[in-house]
Structure 1
Amino acid sequence: MEIKADQTSTVQFFNEKPEKPDNPKNPEKPSVPSNPSTPQKPVPQTGDDPYIFLYGGLLAAALIGGSVFAVYYFKKGKYSRTSQKRTAVGASVLSLCALVALGSGFLVFRDLNQYAESKDAYRDLAGYVEVPEQTDSPEQATDPTETKQDDADIVLPSVDFEALRENGPDIIGWLSLPDTVLNYPVTQTDNNEYYLNHLYDGTYNKVGCLFADYENRADFSDRNTIIYGHNMRDGSMFALLNRYDEQSYFDTHRQMYLVTPKGGYVMEIFAAFAAKPEESGSETSPWQLSWKDDGAYTTWLTAMKERSAVESDVTVTCSDKVLTPSTCTPGGTGRFLVMGKLVKVDNEI
């Protein structure tokens, strides 16, 4: 703009308020994640493996097939007329049958030998355990309405844990069911896999050993202590637990005995039932190990008793501690559990 003398110029000022920028949007609050569900803890596979039947089938097929082929191949007057090619084919087939028979026969022998080896190993422990003769025991009673044996009259086995631990340092107890083959040490280590295929002394064997859950206290002071064991075809370990789905068996086998280095207990059975491994981690899981309060524990105990396949007059409250032997059902897809409250007994022999 040009300003000249003797002229008036007008200057205008405009005080314009700048437009206020839009307020930025407040960032959305992140959504609160839902509480994760209790993780499912794997339940050990405690069934006997089916391989011995596979090995036995292969052995039978190889022997029968090889014999039939040999009879046909060496039929009188036929073998001399075969060509070199047919001779080679025949020799190959017979060799294959022989190899299959030898291999499967070895595997069958190996599995049978493991059964025998475990039986001998646990029989050798008898010298460390003195089992008293029980009189008028509830296991021998035929009438379930008879008065139960007083706990003061029960004499538990005497176990030399010091000697046992020289060869089995992980042994924490001894579990027995009177008048049955269930009479074994209980071990514990830092996982639930090792004693699935090792004996109490660490020897590799598919029969394994009874063992407490690695998350349990070794002194059986938890509200629920789980003991795992195989359902073996030879009847060893926890095979007989599955018989507790019959009322008649329960009526004559109402109690198990647990002996620990610090004392002994009678396990008074109040429930026995089948469960699915998928239940692990739920609030009604029979493998549950902790509860937020006494009320939750009482609710759980009631649920376990209601699931029982047998009727028991044993009462269990939030002040009781529970022992839960667990094994596989026949076929290995499910689990069978027997649950009992632990009652302290001070009169070991």
Structure 2
Amino acid sequence: MNKRNKSAGNWIIVGIAAFLMAGICICFVVNREKQKLEAAKLYEQTAGSEDVTGEDVSESRSGKDFNQSDMGDESSTEKSTDQLRDGLSKKQADYSAELPVNIAEIQKDMPDVYGWIEIPGTKVNYPVVQREDDNLYYLDKTPDGSSNIEGSIFSEDYNRRDFTDPVTVLYGHNMKNGDMFGELHLYEDKSFFDANRDLYIYLKDKKLTYRIFAAVLFDNRHIMQSYDFSGEDSILPFIREIMNIRNMRSNVDRDISILPTDKILTLSTCHGMGSDYRYLVLGVLQND
């Protein structure tokens, strides 16, 4: 009888141990599945961003200057660009058709916003920012200061904020999903280039209209540091170089007349060919 009781007790111990082991295994599996789900969600949040390698950033009078290839993937996305754009658009309700964007209203919350860029036929429809004494600030931040790998459309402090410089350069990331300046690459197609030549800049008190005359694969020179735009006819060497570009990825309207006194807007983004290249879309101001 004692032997039978002892045997039964052993089986109970074995059963309890087996039950505990099964529970541990189940918990492990559930935890692994939870980790996989969280990883999948994180991937979905960050998918669509293009990883662009960086170069050293040169020092200049601003202390921090931007090189178009200085784009990383370390920023977390706290607010999507579409959400921010939609929120800003709601602030423009009942504003005039001539100036559909109320820059003064936006500046109450985002003082670095000084303009708005729109290119019909593309997703380019964003605020334009500039950060005093820090040309790198908006590489990975939205105009409201939120961290976002898409960054913002911005200029450096080499340019005034009224677009009166001979050449003004705006930078934006080349995103795989087409956000920011990703859709500038649509201009590599000749038919798209021919059909989408209008570009608008909205300021506090006026609308600037540009005619796009070139979309070219360029090298990675810092345009504002590489050319002297301070004298008479100063834009001509730059314009001649643009007009002489001939490759399969570039489209240029060589019939357009560019005067030495014209104001040129240059949009700059990265290109899939590597960090040695930039893609530029250039427009000439039609009104002032």
Distance 2:137 2:39 in 1: 26
Distance of aligned partners of 1:114 and 1:286 in 2 relative to their CA distance in 1, 3 Å threshold: same
Shift of 1:338: 0.4
2:235 is the alignment partner of 1:297 = yes
SS of the residue 1:215 aligns to: coil
Deviations 1:229-279 (A, max 9, x none): 1112222111111111221111111110111124221111121111232x3
Q: Is the 8 A contact 2:172 2:268 kept in 1?
A: yes
The answer for the alignment partner of 1:121 in structure 2 is: 84
Distance 1:222 1:332 in 2: 29
Distance of aligned partners of 1:115 and 1:249 in 2 relative to their CA distance in 1, 3 Å threshold: farther
- TM-score normalised to structure 2 length: 0.69
2:251 is the alignment partner of 1:310 = yes
The answer for the alignment partner of 1:107 in structure 2 is: 42
- TM-score normalised to structure 1 length: 0.58
The one of 280, 284, 288 aligned to 1:337: 280
Distance 1:167 1:194 in 2: 17
The answer for the alignment partner of 1:231 in structure 2 is: 174
SS of the residue 1:326 aligns to: strand
Distance of aligned partners of 1:286 and 1:242 in 2 relative to their CA distance in 1, 3 Å threshold: farther
Report the AA paired with residue 299 of structure 1.
P
Q: Is the 8 A contact 2:158 2:224 kept in 1?
A: no
SS of the residue 2:157 aligns to: coil
Supply the RMSD in Å over aligned alpha carbons: 3.5
Shift of 1:109: 4.1
The answer for the alignment partner of 1:171 in structure 2 is: 113
Deviations 1:94-122 (A, max 9, x none): 79965863563353144259497221111
SS of the residue 2:228 aligns to: coil
Distance 1:316 1:130 in 2: 37
Gaps of 5+ in 1: 1-86, 133-154
Shift of 1:296: 4.4
Q: Is the 8 A contact 1:181 1:236 kept in 2?
A: yes
Larger C-alpha radius of gyration, 1 or 2?
A: 1
Distance 1:331 1:103 in 2: 33
What is the count of residue pairs matched by the alignment?
235
The one of 192, 195, 211 aligned to 1:268: 211
Matches within 5 A, 1:203-222: 203-222=146-165
Distance of aligned partners of 1:257 and 1:304 in 2 relative to their CA distance in 1, 3 Å threshold: same
SS of the residue 1:222 aligns to: coil
Distance 1:287 1:259 in 2: 26
Distance of aligned partners of 1:331 and 1:115 in 2 relative to their CA distance in 1, 3 Å threshold: farther
The one of 123, 127, 130 aligned to 1:188: 130
SS of the residue 2:216 aligns to: strand
Shift of 1:193: 1.8
Report the AA paired with residue 315 of structure 1.
S
Report the AA paired with residue 115 of structure 2.
G
